[in-house]
Protein backbone atom coordinates (compact mmCIF):
# COMPACT_ATOMS: atom_id res chain seq x y z
CA UNK A 1 0.00 0.00 0.00
CA UNK A 2 1.53 3.36 -1.02
CA UNK A 3 2.36 6.10 1.46
CA UNK A 4 -0.06 8.93 0.65
CA UNK A 5 -0.19 12.60 1.59
CA UNK A 6 -3.15 11.83 3.85
CA UNK A 7 -1.15 9.16 5.71
CA UNK A 8 1.72 11.63 6.10
CA UNK A 9 -0.61 14.26 7.57
CA UNK A 10 -2.29 11.77 9.88
CA UNK A 11 1.08 10.47 11.14
CA UNK A 12 2.24 14.03 11.94
CA UNK A 13 -1.10 14.86 13.60
CA UNK A 14 -0.99 11.70 15.71
CA UNK A 15 2.59 12.45 16.79
CA UNK A 16 1.67 15.96 17.96
CA UNK A 17 -1.57 14.81 19.61
CA UNK A 18 0.54 12.36 21.64
CA UNK A 19 2.59 15.38 22.78
CA UNK A 20 -0.57 17.17 23.96
CA UNK A 21 -1.52 19.23 20.92
CA UNK A 22 -5.16 19.59 19.94
CA UNK A 23 -6.03 18.80 16.33
CA UNK A 24 -7.94 21.23 14.11
CA UNK A 25 -9.01 20.37 10.58
CA UNK A 26 -8.68 23.67 8.68
CA UNK A 27 -11.81 23.47 6.51
CA UNK A 28 -13.95 22.76 9.59
CA UNK A 29 -12.81 25.97 11.37
CA UNK A 30 -15.13 28.92 10.70
CA UNK A 31 -12.76 31.81 9.96
CA UNK A 32 -11.59 34.44 7.49
CA UNK A 33 -9.28 32.67 5.02
CA UNK A 34 -7.42 35.93 4.33
CA UNK A 35 -6.02 35.85 7.88
CA UNK A 36 -3.39 33.16 8.58
CA UNK A 37 -3.85 33.49 12.34
CA UNK A 38 -6.24 31.26 14.30
CA UNK A 39 -8.11 34.31 15.57
CA UNK A 40 -10.44 32.61 18.07
CA UNK A 41 -7.49 30.88 19.77
CA UNK A 42 -5.31 33.99 19.59
CA UNK A 43 -7.94 36.29 21.08
CA UNK A 44 -8.70 33.85 23.90
CA UNK A 45 -4.96 33.45 24.61
CA UNK A 46 -4.32 37.19 24.76
CA UNK A 47 -7.10 37.63 27.31
CA UNK A 48 -5.91 34.59 29.29
CA UNK A 49 -2.25 35.68 29.31
CA UNK A 50 -2.95 39.37 29.95
CA UNK A 51 -5.89 39.43 32.39
CA UNK A 52 -5.25 43.01 33.54
CA UNK A 53 -5.27 44.53 30.06
CA UNK A 54 -8.49 46.18 28.86
CA UNK A 55 -10.24 45.37 25.57
CA UNK A 56 -8.57 48.35 23.84
CA UNK A 57 -5.11 46.97 24.59
CA UNK A 58 -6.01 43.49 23.33
CA UNK A 59 -7.51 45.03 20.18
CA UNK A 60 -4.30 47.02 19.64
CA UNK A 61 -2.19 43.84 19.93
CA UNK A 62 -4.47 41.99 17.48
CA UNK A 63 -4.27 44.90 15.04
CA UNK A 64 -0.47 44.97 15.23
CA UNK A 65 -0.23 41.22 14.68
CA UNK A 66 -2.35 41.50 11.54
CA UNK A 67 -0.69 44.63 10.16
CA UNK A 68 3.08 44.39 10.19
CA UNK A 69 4.93 47.37 8.77
CA UNK A 70 6.04 47.09 5.19
CA UNK A 71 9.39 45.45 4.73
CA UNK A 72 11.22 42.45 3.47
CA UNK A 73 10.36 38.99 4.76
CA UNK A 74 13.49 38.92 6.93
CA UNK A 75 12.43 42.19 8.61
CA UNK A 76 8.88 40.94 9.16
CA UNK A 77 10.20 37.70 10.68
CA UNK A 78 12.44 39.70 13.04
CA UNK A 79 9.46 41.80 14.18
CA UNK A 80 7.32 38.69 14.69
CA UNK A 81 10.08 36.96 16.69
CA UNK A 82 10.46 40.05 18.87
CA UNK A 83 6.70 40.07 19.51
CA UNK A 84 6.76 36.34 20.27
CA UNK A 85 9.67 36.60 22.71
CA UNK A 86 9.04 39.99 24.33
CA UNK A 87 5.38 40.81 23.76
CA UNK A 88 3.81 43.74 21.94
CA UNK A 89 3.75 47.28 23.22
CA UNK A 90 0.11 48.37 23.30
CA UNK A 91 -1.62 51.64 24.02
CA UNK A 92 -5.01 52.18 25.59
CA UNK A 93 -7.00 54.80 27.45
CA UNK A 94 -7.74 54.44 31.16
CA UNK A 95 -9.87 57.07 32.90
CA UNK A 96 -9.11 59.58 30.17
CA UNK A 97 -5.36 59.00 30.26
CA UNK A 98 -3.33 57.27 27.57
CA UNK A 99 -1.37 54.34 28.93
CA UNK A 100 0.97 51.73 27.52
CA UNK A 101 1.74 48.17 28.50
CA UNK A 102 3.18 44.96 27.12
CA UNK A 103 0.75 42.34 25.79
CA UNK A 104 2.37 38.92 26.01
CA UNK A 105 1.74 36.29 23.33
CA UNK A 106 3.24 33.25 25.06
CA UNK A 107 3.53 32.24 28.72
CA UNK A 108 7.08 30.94 29.03
CA UNK A 109 6.81 30.43 32.81
CA UNK A 110 3.71 28.23 32.76
CA UNK A 111 3.46 26.37 29.46
CA UNK A 112 0.11 24.89 30.52
CA UNK A 113 -1.29 28.40 30.09
CA UNK A 114 -0.68 28.20 26.32
CA UNK A 115 -2.70 26.46 23.63
CA UNK A 116 -0.93 24.10 21.24
CA UNK A 117 -2.73 23.15 18.03
CA UNK A 118 -1.73 21.00 15.09
CA UNK A 119 -3.85 21.89 12.06
CA UNK A 120 -4.01 20.36 8.63
CA UNK A 121 -5.29 21.82 5.35
CA UNK A 122 -5.27 25.38 6.79
CA UNK A 123 -6.13 27.45 3.72
CA UNK A 124 -4.80 30.98 3.51
CA UNK A 125 -5.61 33.34 0.65
CA UNK A 126 -3.17 36.16 -0.06
CA UNK A 127 -2.32 36.72 -3.73
CA UNK A 128 -3.29 33.13 -4.38
CA UNK A 129 -4.51 30.22 -2.30
CA UNK A 130 -2.06 28.42 -0.05
CA UNK A 131 -2.88 25.25 1.86
CA UNK A 132 -0.02 23.76 3.87
CA UNK A 133 -0.33 20.12 4.83
CA UNK A 134 0.33 20.78 8.52
CA UNK A 135 0.71 23.92 10.64
CA UNK A 136 1.62 24.16 14.31
CA UNK A 137 0.03 26.98 16.29
CA UNK A 138 0.95 28.33 19.70
CA UNK A 139 -1.87 30.46 21.10
CA UNK A 140 -3.32 30.88 17.61
CA UNK A 141 -0.02 31.99 16.05
CA UNK A 142 1.32 29.84 13.21
CA UNK A 143 4.91 29.03 14.13
CA UNK A 144 5.81 25.90 12.12
CA UNK A 145 4.77 24.99 8.60
CA UNK A 146 5.15 21.47 7.21
Mean pLDDT calculated for residue range 53-74: 89
The residues spanned by each domain of the chain are: 10-121+128-145
**Model pLDDT, residue 32:** 92
pLDDT cut 70: percent of the chain above it: 98
**Model pLDDT, residue 87:** 97
β 124-125/97-103 pair status = unpaired
Q: 99-137 burial, b if ≥16 CB within 10 A, otherwise e?
A: eebebbbbbeeeeeebbbbbbbbbebeeeeeeebbbbbb
What's the mean pLDDT when you consider all of the chain?
A: 93
Q: What is the pTM of this model?
A: 0.90
**Phi and psi, residue 59, nearest 5°:** -60, -40
List, for residues 33-50, the tens digit of each pLDDT value.
Answer: 998 899 999 999 999 999
Report whether pLDDT(132) > 90: no
CA 40 to chain centre: 9
Which range has the worst mean pLDDT, 18-22, 34-38, 96-100, 123-127?
123-127
List, for residues 20-31, the tens digit of each pLDDT value.
Answer: 999 999 999 999
Amino acid sequence: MPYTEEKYENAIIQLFEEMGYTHAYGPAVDRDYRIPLYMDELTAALYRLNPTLPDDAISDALFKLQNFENGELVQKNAVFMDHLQNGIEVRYTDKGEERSAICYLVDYSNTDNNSFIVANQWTFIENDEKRPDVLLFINGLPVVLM
